[in-house]
Amino acid sequence: MGSNDDKKSYKSPVYVHNPHLDKLKDDVLYHFNLGTATHDLPAIFGNVKFVCVGGSPWRMKSFIEYIAAELGLEDPKSEYPNICAGTDRYAMYKVGPVLSVSHGMGIPSISIMLHELIKLLHHAHCTDVTIFRIGTSGGIGLEPGTVVVTKQSVDATFLPKFEQVILGQTVVRSTDLDQGLTEELLQCSKELNQFETVIANTMCTMDFYEGQARLDGAFCSYSEKDKQDYLAKAYEAGVRNIEMESSVFAAMCKLSGLQAAVVCVTLLDRLKGDQLISSHEVLRSYQQRPQILVGDFIKKQLSAAGRT
Amino acid sequence: MGSNDDKKSYKSPVYVHNPHLDKLKDDVLYHFNLGTATHDLPAIFGNVKFVCVGGSPWRMKSFIEYIAAELGLEDPKSEYPNICAGTDRYAMYKVGPVLSVSHGMGIPSISIMLHELIKLLHHAHCTDVTIFRIGTSGGIGLEPGTVVVTKQSVDATFLPKFEQVILGQTVVRSTDLDQGLTEELLQCSKELNQFETVIANTMCTMDFYEGQARLDGAFCSYSEKDKQDYLAKAYEAGVRNIEMESSVFAAMCKLSGLQAAVVCVTLLDRLKGDQLISSHEVLRSYQQRPQILVGDFIKKQLSAAGRT
């Protein structure tokens, strides 16, 4: 792998905003089972330029196999060890400049992972890192299988903000994403021409059932009409899909200087139902679409930088 | 396994509160990879009387092995298949009347699992079910390794409530737990006499770093004194440990008529530090304590009911 120093006059680091970190003798990244005293983080991770994160550990392993093949970086044994094998909290895989990490489901789970990932990239002196969340979602008024690249991540009242509680006080953080990156991904999808991709707002909720107006949870106190009215309001606010991690992902990546995008496929149209009743084969093929799009983007970027 | 019909005049079912469920032809429990059309839920789960849930899939597998040995119900091959093997979202194990399920980290992750677990127990016609969350936590002013049985689960402002967003509106739910069960667990621990157990309030946060006043996250905008002042206020409010799932667990179990307790070991004293620097062996032995306590309780209950 060459450096792309000559292509850019300025290298953008991964920022932490914590003066206390300098006072730590060692930093234990507990939920990764990694640490500065036990691992040579710059040697292992220093060349990372792209990070892909997603909920499911299986999907993140499948992504590293896919991107390795795409980039011609296959391991001759085709084995990609889980770098976090010492814990079952998250799974992590790496090939060349690409890191793939699982984050579980929901804002708190991805938030723990991102704190430790941002510290990892900082300790490893990584620069110019682009990060993608590749996930699944429920669509609103879209054909199932459509990929949504998030314009703005909005909350359950359709506002583009993430509320972080610090010492019992609520602090509001921006959920802005990189619009240039978003447009580049859309362009990439047009060139691929394999599936529909749109740029739209994504609603990020704290819950899969009541929080997303589903009628099929253990508890439901509203009617079908209430549900449809709520989803219609979301649609009017530009929301085309619903998931559970984008807001804190956008907020934390922005704070740390990571160029970030959210790329989620819609598994169903929530205007027509709540349950995932498509066959496993169909759902599996849908789930590959964000991988294919982001894989193609990474391949083009590395090719343009003369790095493959 | 005999029935305990003769011991009780009334059998308490597991409630769902959702009139729409009756209209569903089939119910797909998507994140378990189970469903009413594909699985005979009453046959598989109808005898469940105790459910243990915890964040880590590995720990929940270790619990089922432990409880099987305690109850003399070991599989001769000592193999406990993951009932949710078709998905990587959660892991589920069963032996006799005991079900063990992982829930990942944070409120949204456990909330998805509980919606589907409550529906599963309902579809299986289970009655008189007791549920435990066995977990890890940060302690406040306790010797590491102390087990806390939760009296009340409180939020980051020390109030005993859980805020559920429904159709964009916030609904406040009670986080009351079963005080009789809590006392019985304390009594059980006294008889065991293997480790310290206390009844105290548990603070449930949305985040492991800033939300718990840690100084070692990627971001930290407060001082060591701010942290200590916040933890001191928590201590004054009766809080002795901090974790990330108890509030929604308490709220949802209460709504569904499940007798519930939260039993978490403290891995460190947050007044003295933020990082988990104890050896893996020590941390592992601490993590077994909630299993030992709940295992002993279940054994005594089954013995008293003449069911072992």
Report pLDDT digits (tens) over A141-166: 999 999 999 999 999 999 999 999 99
All residues at 6 or more sequence positions from A19 whose CB lies less than 8 Å from its CB, including other chains: B220
What residues does B92 pair with on adjacent strands?
A: B101
Q: Which of A59, A129, A155, A207 to mutate to test the interface with B (most CBs of B within 10 A)?
A: A207
What's chain B's average pLDDT?
94
Whether residues B276 and A30 touch (CB distance < 8 A) is answered with: yes
Confidence of residue A250 (pLDDT cuts 50, 70, 90): very high
Residue where the block lists tokens 């299993």: B291
Whether residues A108 and B167 touch (CB distance < 8 A) is answered with: no
Mean pLDDT along residues B173-185: 96
* B304 Cα to chain A: minimum distance (Å): 32
Chain A within 8 Å of B246 (Cβ-Cβ)?
no
pLDDT > 80? residue B4: no
ipTM of the complex: 0.95
> What residues of chain B, 65 to 124, have a C-beta less than 8 Å from chain A?
88-89, 104-109, 111-112, 114-116, 118-119, 122
Mean pLDDT along residues B14-28: 93
> Left if phi > 0, otherwise alpha if psi is -120 to 50, otherwise beta: which for A112?
alpha
pLDDT > 90? residue B128: yes
Q: Which of B15, B20, B169 to mutate to test the interface with A (most CBs of A within 10 A)?
A: B20
pLDDT > 80? residue B143: yes
Please tell me the predicted confidence (pLDDT) of residue A305: 86
B55 to chain A: closest CA residue: A89
Q: Nearest Cβ partner of B104 from A104, A156, A158? A: A104
Confidence of residue B2 (pLDDT cuts 50, 70, 90): very low
Residues A43-67: pLDDT tens digits? 999 999 999 999 999 999 999 999 9
Mean pLDDT along residues B18-38: 95
3-state secondary structure of B257: coil
Whether residues A218 and B244 touch (CB distance < 8 A) is answered with: no
* B262 Cα to chain A: minimum distance (Å): 19
Whether residues A220 and B20 touch (CB distance < 8 A) is answered with: yes
Which one, of B107, B202, B139, lies nearest residue A109 by Cα? B107
Query: Do residues A8 and A124 lie in contact, with contact meaning Cβ atoms separated by under 8 Å?
Result: no
Please tell me the predicted confidence (pLDDT) of residue B9: 54
Percentage of chain A beyond pLDDT 90 is 90
Whether residues B165 and A205 touch (CB distance < 8 A) is answered with: yes
Chain B within 8 Å of A218 (Cβ-Cβ)?
yes
Mean pLDDT along residues A270-289: 93
Structure tokens at B142: 């306790």
Confidence of residue B306 (pLDDT cuts 50, 70, 90): confident
Q: Rounded to an integer, what distance in angstroms lies between the CA atom of residue A218 and that of residue A198?
A: 33
Confidence of residue A307 (pLDDT cuts 50, 70, 90): low
Please tell me the predicted confidence (pLDDT) of residue A117: 98
Confidence of residue B307 (pLDDT cuts 50, 70, 90): low
